[in-house]
Amino acid sequence: MSTKRFDAIEHTLQRPIIDVKLPSNKISDFFAENVFSIDTMRKYLSKDAFIGMMAVIESGKKIDSELADQVASAMKEWAMEKGATSYTHWFQPLTGATAEKHDTFFTPTDSSKGIEKFKGKELVQQEPDGSSFPTGGLRATFEARGYTAWDPSSPAFIVEVGTSAKTLCIPTIFVAYTGEALDFKVPLLKSQQLLQRAAVPVCNYFDEKVQKVVPTLGWEQEYFLVDAALFAARPDLLLTGRTVLGAAPPKGQQLDDHYFGSISERVHAYMLDFETEALKLGITISTRHNEVAPGQYECAPVFSDVNSAVDKNQLVMDIMDRVARRHGLRLLLHEKPFAGVNGSGKHNNWSLATDTGINLLAPGDSPETNLQFLTFFVNTIKAVHTHANLLRAAIASAGNDHRLGANEAPPAIISIFIGSTLTKVLESIAENSSTAGKATKEKLNIVGSIPDLFLDNTDRNRTSPFAFTGNKFEFRAVGSSANCAAAMTALNTIVADQLFSFKKEVDVLIKKGRTTQGALLKVLSSYIKEAKAILFEGDNYTDEWATEAARRGLSNVKDTPRALGFYVTPKAKSLLVGNGIYKEAELAAFYEVLLENYELKIDIESKVMEEMVINQILPVAIEYQSSLANNILTLKDLGYKKKQYKAQTELLESLGKHINAVKAGVDKMVAARKKAHQKKSAKATAIAYGDKVKGCFDEIRTHADALEQLIDDQLWPLPKYRELLFIK
């Protein structure tokens, strides 16, 4: 008799709600108190050091050792006053998680004495063991050593674990000993600089004063919460973050009673708690609500520049996980924790902001500002049209494969939704292309015809992977557990590359005697025509769209190993290597790491599935089988007629059928795993894992779930969907 599941349920029901106390009821009292912010620096640094540091942050100036020593010493003083005893370089290796290796400030001077020290060189550079992190092909070719280097553009912060352990975290990049990037941040920072170089000259057509353009990101994070006891009783949740087995409950999300529903007291306490932690780190979570699926929620911060928004997202994911445990909950960031229930995504809202305070993707109220808006709007569309495949690669992961194309998230086809008003505007510009640039006045009228109220007018399309939402694009196909950096690096780079070409084309026309506005319109109108195929206003979830997209020549690659292949096409290489985002070896390594990561995830899922079937499900199935068989024998002995134990016989037969089938499925999967391992290249292995190993999952699951629905509920060892999703 299994009691583990019932113990877990009991535990869940008895769990007290934690009373969360805010440090103060005025948020401004503790907002960003754990960040070594500009204000803090002003306070802790000498005047000269502060000016030096601002130059480093604002213009990317190199930091010298003297300044580094001063900053390190100020950071240490501040951190120790706040109760920190150690520090760590905090980085984002290609595992997807963040990494840290703590060192204490304390340095012994002799056997009974010591002092707290933190030197500039420790701030600037550290050497974690590179070989413990994914390095792709670089592992074979280069020394395995890697080092982390301080990224002064991202502020240091203090992480509190519990009430006593506090650590000073220094955001860093992570590179191989030979200088190759081994993380998500280096390419991201490069793409941000590239975009800045490409966008400023284009802005200058409209406003000479613009000197800086930064991409902005506001992410919306979806997640699930499950009680910690139920979580612990499921090996699949514990080891893979998703349920690889589990029969659908009679009630799922069909009543639509969860979305924006009232938040349970326990979950509310949790949200308040992690939001407070986030606030102390200067992260304002501005929205919180229930999502579509039971047990699913969403939070979103105020947007910021892409680099810091990426850091904040990584930090928030960490905090959410840590704080959940405090509340007896476990956080699920997996894209598809439950079959038959909506999965989780992370919408990446993206725009471009100038140092003059303009959002370049917000339509203006005069013809001139509208032309500037249209310039960036159309160039983004053109970039996505040209490099849709790269965006597809940038969102590929084992988890996201469950969502894309599963009628709950955008399909694997990249397209753009812009709404009816803008569709009309673009059509009229394209139609008049033959005269564009000549009858300048007329063209400006077209541009000027964007209604002023247009911001509030934009219609929504929840099925689009890349939707314009009035003043930003929303990349909706990013996975919930992803580091946004991959998607943002791709997007920044393709738009930058596009803006470089645009500038060249416009300048040629200007040299030939066109007015600037005429030249801009002429090029834009040609882009609108060329990029038309990427625009789609209809329902992305339909089969008709898949057919139509194929007719338009748009890709529809549904699995990660093949989608990742888009990273290493000649087109992507020339874009990424040509623009200096990756060195050739880095790109190859990045690709290899992602393939490996996919393979490992499927491998773990497959092994967990095997273990659950063999060690947990089959034993209870056989136990139940024996009790049915014994029952039949007894009844037979007592002289019962066959039809009097018909139900038992039928149950026994189905049980036997599913027991054999689930075992056969596992055997087939184990054989597929062996074969996949024998493949020569990382790509072939990943493809074999996706097609053949993962290819066995559905069959196994069908029979395992049928067993769950047949076997005595008292015997079933694994918390069921109804318990995971509805007990809170």
Q: Could you tell me the two tokens for 311? A: 């850091």
Query: Measuring CA to CA, how many Å separate 611 from each of 605, 615, 655?
Result: 10, 6, 19
Q: Which of 76, 347, 387, 503 binds Mg ion (CB under 5 A)?
A: 347
Residue from 216, 276, 386, 389 that binds ligand ADP (CB under 6 A)? 216
Q: Which is nearer to ligand ADP, 220 or 227 (CB)?
A: 220
Residue 312 interacts with, from Mg ion, ligand ADP, none (CB under 5-8 Å by kind) = none
Per residue, what are the HEC states of 550-599?
Answer: HHHCCCCCCCHHHHHHHHHCHHHHHHHHHCCCCCHHHHHHHHHHHHHHHH
For ligand ADP, the binding residue among 76, 139, 327, 472 (CB under 6 A) is: 472
Interface positions, 521-550, toward ligand ADP (CB under 6 A): none
- Give least dist CB 218 to Mg ion, A: 9
Q: How far is the CB of 259 from ligand ADP (least distance, A)?
A: 14
Calpha distance 157→308 (Å, rounded): 12
Interface with ligand ADP in residues 278-317 (CB under 6 A): 300, 302-303
- Residues between 158 and 187 with contacts to ligand ADP, criterion CB under 6 A: none
What is the token pair recorded at 154? Answer: 């991202």
Least distance to Mg ion, CB of residue 347, Å = 4
Q: How far is the CB of 419 from Mg ion (least distance, A)?
A: 15
Q: Give, as ranges, the residues between 324 and 363 that touch ligand ADP (CB under 6 A).
A: 349-351, 359
Extract the tokens encoding 707: 């067993």
469 binds, among ligand ADP, Mg ion, none (CB under 5 to 8 A by kind): ligand ADP
Instruction: State the amino acid at position 561 in one-letter form.
Output: P
State which residue has the least CB distance to ligand ADP. Answer: 218
**Structure tokens belonging to residue 641:** 């007629």
State how far the Cα of 374 lies from the Cα of 535, in Å rounded to an integer: 15
Which residue's CB is nearer to ligand ADP, number 216 or number 240? 216
> How far is 304 from 217, CA to CA, in rounded Å?
6
What does 253 bind: ligand ADP, Mg ion, none (CB cut-off 5 to 8 Å by kind)? Answer: none
Which residues, numbered 202-221, are part of the site for Mg ion (CB under 5 A)?
Answer: 220
| Minimum gap (Å) between residue 357 Cβ and ligand ADP | 12
- Rounded to 5 degrees, what angle do the CA atoms 525, 530, 536 make? 100
**Which contiguous run of DSSP H or E holds residue 173?**
strand 165-176
Would you say the C-alpha torsion 636, 642, 645, 648 has a positive or negative sign?
positive
Q: Which does 303 bind (CB under 5 to 8 A by kind): Mg ion, ligand ADP, none?
A: ligand ADP
If you write DSSP's letter for every residue of 209-276 in order, what string do you get?
T---EEEEEEEEEEEEEEEHHHHHT-HHHHHHSS-SS-PPPS-SSTT--STT-PPPHHHHHHHHHHHH
Q: How far is the CB of 287 from ligand ADP (least distance, A)?
A: 7
CB of 285 to ligand ADP, least distance (A): 10
CB contact at 8 A, 470 and 464: no
* Residue of 217, 418, 422, 534 that binds ligand ADP (CB under 6 A): 217
- 160: part of which helix (H) or strand (E)? strand 157-161
The nearer residue to ligand ADP, 183 or 220, going by C-beta atoms, is 220
217 vs 339, beta carbon nearer ligand ADP: 217
Nearest-approach distance from CB 256 to ligand ADP, in angstroms: 19
Spatial separation of the C-alpha atoms in residues 519 and 526, rounded to whole Å: 11
Q: Which does 218 bind (CB under 5 to 8 A by kind): ligand ADP, Mg ion, none?
A: ligand ADP
Distance CA 150, CA 142 (A): 22
Q: Shortest approach of ligand ADP to residue 48 CB, angstroms?
A: 35
Nearer to ligand ADP, 208 or 456 (CB): 456
Stretch that binds ligand ADP, among 164-172, 186-194, 211-219, 266-274 (CB under 6 A): 211-219
**Cβ at position 216, least distance to ligand ADP in Å:** 4
The smaller minimum CB distance to Mg ion, of residues 347 and 683, is found at 347
What is the residue type of 690? G
Residues 381 and 464: beta-carbon distance below 8 Å: no
Of 244 and 306, CB closest to ligand ADP = 306
Kindly determine how many residues on this chain lie close enough to bind ligand ADP according to the rule CB under 6 A. Answer: 14
Query: Which of Mg ion, ligand ADP, none lies near 167, with the C-beta cut-off 5 to 8 A by kind?
Result: none
CB 170 within 8 A of CB 89: yes
In sequence order, what are the beta bridge partners of 214?
353
Residue 469 binds ligand ADP, judged by CB under 6 A: yes
User: Residue 218 interacts with ligand ADP (CB under 6 A)?
Assistant: yes
Strands 165-176 and 157-161, sheet pairing: antiparallel
Q: How far is the CB of 412 from ligand ADP (least distance, A)?
A: 24
Give the one entry of ligand ADP, Mg ion, none that residue 216 binds, where binding means its C-beta sits below a cut-off of 5 to 8 angstroms depending on kind: ligand ADP
Nearer to ligand ADP, 381 or 506 (CB): 381
The answer to whether 174 and 100 are in contact (CB under 8 A) is: no
Residue with smaller CB distance to ligand ADP, 342 or 458: 458
> Of 465 and 690, which has the nearer Cβ to Mg ion?
465
User: Which of these ranges, 125-133, 217-225, 397-405, 494-502, lies near ligand ADP under the rule CB under 6 A?
Assistant: 217-225
Q: Which is nearer to Mg ion, 258 or 503 (CB)?
A: 258
125: helix, coil or strand? Answer: strand
Closest alpha carbon to 186 in 144, 148, 217, 139: 148
At closest approach, how far in Å is the CB of 98 from ligand ADP? Answer: 21
Q: Which two tokens stand for residue 726?
A: 């509805």
Q: Which residue is nearest to Mg ion (CB)?
A: 347
How far is the C-alpha of 410 from the C-alpha of 490, rounded, in Å?
18
- The Cα 146–Cα 89 span in angstroms is 13
- Minimum distance, C-beta of residue 474 to ligand ADP, in the bound complex (Å): 7
Nearest in space to 393 (alpha carbons), one of 563, 561, 599: 563
Nearer to ligand ADP, 351 or 433 (CB): 351
Pair 241, 333: CB distance under 8 Å: yes
- Give the torsion sign (CA, 280, 281, 283, 288): negative
- Least distance from Mg ion to the Cβ atom of residue 299, Å: 12
How many chain residues are in contact with Mg ion, going by CB under 5 A? 2
Q: Answer yes or no: are the C-beta atoms of 44 and 78 closer than 8 Å.
A: yes
Alpha carbon distance 19, 269 (integer Å): 7
Q: Which is nearer to Mg ion, 142 or 350 (CB)?
A: 350
Q: Which residues bind Mg ion (CB under 5 A)?
A: 220, 347
Residues that bind ligand ADP (CB under 6 A): 216-218, 220, 300, 302-303, 349-351, 359, 469, 471-472
